[in-house]
Amino acid sequence: MDDKPRPSLEDLGSRLRKARGGNESGSRGRLPGTRLGQALHLAIEMAAALAVGGGIGWLLDEWLGTRPWLFVVFIFVGIAAGILNAFRAAERLGATPLSRESADERSEEQDERSQR
């Protein structure tokens, strides 16, 4: 075997940061950075929710023979889901560091209340 000492975790971390180019922010779970990207993201989310709702309604109508009632109901469910998703995404877009702190404080207070 080798007699070389194994590199430390700090050394590994510094090498990883250097390889990544120092970008530690990570964009996973966040909306796209440009306004066009944000608008497209919201539009696609709304369209997908509408398509899923309509598809479920159509399939149930075909299966149960209730055409067009379940299609209409699930179209409205899809619209509601799309609007709800858009509001949630808009909240993430409009969050400032101050509002994030207050949201974190509120969630901590809710956690404390639930533990009582």
Name the CA dihedral angle for 24, 30, 31, 35, rounded to a multiple of 10 degrees.
-40
Residue extents of the structural domains in the chain = 34-105
Q: What is the pLDDT along the chain (116 residues), one digit of tens a residue?
A: 567 777 788 888 888 888 888 555 555 555 557 888 888 888 999 999 999 999 999 999 999 999 999 999 999 999 999 999 988 888 887 764 444 455 566 667 767 777 76
User: 3-class DSSP state for residue 91?
Assistant: helix
Contacts of residue 65, defined as CB under 8 A and 6 or more positions apart, other chains included, come to: none
Q: For the purposes of burial, counting CB atoms within 10 Å of the CB of 57, is it exposed (0-12), middle (13-18) or buried (19 or more)?
A: buried
